[in-house]
Amino acid sequence: MFNIVLIEPQIPQNTGNIARTCACTGAKLHLIRPFKFDINDKTLKRAGLDYWDKLEVFYYDDIDNFFRKNDGEYYFIETGGDKNYTDIKFSKSAYLFFGKETTGIDKNILTKYKDRTISIPMSENLRSLNLSNCVAIVLYEALRQYDFEGLN
- Contact (CB, 8 A) for 91 and 132: no
Going along the chain from its start, the domains and CATH numbers come out as 3-144 (3.40.1280.10)
Per-residue pLDDT tens listing for the chain (152 residues): 899 999 999 998 899 899 999 999 999 999 999 987 777 757 666 655 678 888 999 999 999 999 999 999 999 999 888 899 999 999 999 999 999 999 999 999 999 999 999 999 999 888 889 999 999 999 999 999 999 999 98
Alpha helices in the chain (DSSP H): 12-25, 42-47, 63-69, 107-112, 131-144
Q: Could you give the C-alpha distances from 90 to 4, 15, 145, in angstroms and in order?
A: 13, 23, 8
- Contact (CB, 8 A) for 90 and 76: no
pTM: predicted TM-score of the whole model, two decimal places = 0.94
